[in-house]
Structure 1
C-alpha cells in the first residue's frame, strides 16, 4: 500500500512517501511458524522537510513532488493519504489538511487524519524504544507549549493540551504522569521547568503518522471528517460592530 504523509503542525513542513505491507504480504514466502524473517511492515521510501513558519502553503506541494520523485512514483500511484491534525497554529494546519483533502478528492483516495503528537510518539517508539513514560512537546506560542504524555507502550496518558511551562509539572502530577524523558521541537521551552532526558528525534515523522493510522488503513475503515486540533481560537478575530460616533 503506497501512502503519502503530510504534516504542517509545526514550522517544519513534512511530506513523505511510505510503503505499508498488508498482513498477507508479511506472511508471503515464509514457512508457517517462522518468525525469523518477518519483513519490516513500514518502509519510508522518501521524506522531505523544510522549516519555515511562514511558508507552509508555498513549500508543501513542492515537497510532495520531491518526495514522490525520490521514491520513483507519481501521484496516481498513491492509495491513501495520512495527514497530521495537530495540535498546531490555525494557518499551518489549514494548509496541510486542505492539501491532503484536495489530493484525496482528486485521486479518489481515502484521507486519514491522526494526531501529530501521536505520530511523533510512534516514530520515537519505533526508533528508540523508551523504557518509561515520555512527553511530546511542541511550541504553542503565546508563551505556552502543546503537551502530550505517553507510556512506554504507546498509550497516550495526557493531552494534547496547551500548557504554560511553569504549570507543566503540576498538570502532569495531577494527571498521575511521571515522565522520564521528553521529545519534540518544543522541549527547549520546558528545559528549566522539567529537567529530564531529551533524546534526539532520530526517527522520521512519516513512519509515525502511518503507524498511528495503520489499523484504519489495513482494515479499510472509512475515514471520518478531518478535524484539526486547534485547541484554542486563532489570533485573528472577526471585527465587531462599528460604534456610532453620534452615540446611541
Structure 2
C-alpha cells in the first residue's frame, strides 16, 4: 500500500509518501517540507512531484491519498483539498481526510492528556483536547486562547503554533510540534487503514469552523444622474 499525504491547512506545505507492508509497517519513501503562508498554490504541486520522483514512484502506483481537512484558513486549506480530490478522481484511488489537529496530536506520541492549538489569526486559535495521541477528548473549536484551558485540568500541556504564539495564556514549555507534518498524516492514515486504533478518517471536505474573510461583492449601487 502506497499512500501520498499532504496538508496545507497551516503555514506548512508538507508532503510525504509512505509504504505499508504487513511485515514492516509504515515506511517513509520521501518527504518535502516548506513553511510559507502565501505560497501554498505555488509549492504544493512541485513538492508532490519531487517526493514522487525521490521515491521512484509513479502516480499510478498510489493506493490512496490522505489530506489534512483543517481547521484552517480558507485559502490555504482549499489548495490541498482541491488537489487531493482532483488526483483521487484522475487516478481512481480513495481520498481520506484527517483533521489537522489530529495530525499534530498523533505526532506527539503522548499517552497523557494534552491539547493542540494552531493559529487561527484574529487573535484566536483552532484547538482540541486529547486523552492521548490516539484519542481526541473534544471536538475541534475556534476561539480566544483562554478557551483552550477553560475547565481543563490545571497544568494541561498545550502543543502547536497557537500555544507558542500565546504562551502567556497557554503556558511556557515544550510546544512542539508547532505545525503538522505529512509524515504523521501518512502514518495515522496507514494505521487506520490497517485497522489500528486512532482518529477517524473523513471525507475530503474542509473544516473551516468560521466563515472565510473574503466575501462576495454585493450588488452595485445605483448612480443617480446629476
On whether the aligned pair clears a TM of 0.5, the verdict is yes
Return closer, same or farther for 1:225/1:133 CA change in 2, 3 Å cut-off: closer
Q: In structure 1, which of residues 61, 85, 90 is the aligned counterpart of residue 74 of structure 2? A: 90
Cα displacement (A) at 1:227 = 1.3
Q: In structure 1, which of residues 140, 143, 161 is the aligned counterpart of residue 123 of structure 2? A: 143
User: Distance between the aligned counterparts of 2:115 and 2:202, measured in 1?
Assistant: 27
TM, length-normalised to structure 2: 0.86
User: Distance between the aligned counterparts of 2:179 and 2:121, measured in 1?
Assistant: 25
User: Distance between the aligned counterparts of 2:19 and 2:108, measured in 1?
Assistant: 19
**SS at 1:193's partner residue?**
helix
Quote the residue 1:51 is aligned against.
35
Q: In structure 2, which of residues 142, 160, 185 is the aligned counterpart of residue 209 of structure 1? A: 185
Aligned-pair RMSD on alpha carbons?
2.4
Matched, 1:184 2:160: yes
Quote the residue 1:228 is aligned against.
206
Return closer, same or farther for 1:167/1:153 CA change in 2, 3 Å cut-off: closer
User: Distance between the aligned counterparts of 1:167 and 1:204, measured in 2?
Assistant: 21
8 Å CA contact 2:112–2:132 kept in 1: the answer is yes
Quote the residue 2:18 is aligned against.
18
Quote the residue 1:80 is aligned against.
64
- Greater Rg over alpha carbons, structure: 1
- More deviation, 207-216/98-107: 207-216
Return closer, same or farther for 1:123/1:196 CA change in 2, 3 Å cut-off: same
**Which digits, 9 at most, give the CA deviation of each residue in 1:26-84, with x for residues without a partner?**
3xxxxxxxxxxxx4x11222110111111111100110011112222122211110000
8 Å CA contact 1:6–1:14 kept in 2: the answer is yes
Structure 2 gap segments, 5+ residues each: 196-200
8 Å CA contact 1:97–1:228 kept in 2: the answer is yes
The number of aligned residues is: 219
Quote the residue 1:169 is aligned against.
149
Return closer, same or farther for 1:202/1:163 CA change in 2, 3 Å cut-off: closer
Return closer, same or farther for 1:65/1:238 CA change in 2, 3 Å cut-off: same
Quote the residue 2:198 is aligned against.
none
8 Å CA contact 2:12–2:179 kept in 1: the answer is no
Return closer, same or farther for 1:47/1:215 CA change in 2, 3 Å cut-off: closer
Cα displacement (A) at 1:216 = 5.2
Quote the residue 2:46 is aligned against.
62
8 Å CA contact 1:15–1:48 kept in 2: the answer is yes
User: Distance between the aligned counterparts of 2:176 and 2:191, measured in 1?
Assistant: 27
User: Distance between the aligned counterparts of 1:89 and 1:202, measured in 2?
Assistant: 16
8 Å CA contact 1:16–1:67 kept in 2: the answer is yes
User: Distance between the aligned counterparts of 2:7 and 2:180, measured in 1?
Assistant: 12
Q: In structure 2, which of residues 62, 71, 92 is the aligned counterpart of residue 108 of structure 1? A: 92
Return closer, same or farther for 1:204/1:138 CA change in 2, 3 Å cut-off: closer
Cα displacement (A) at 1:206 = 2.5
Quote the residue 1:36 is aligned against.
none
Quote the residue 2:218 is aligned against.
240
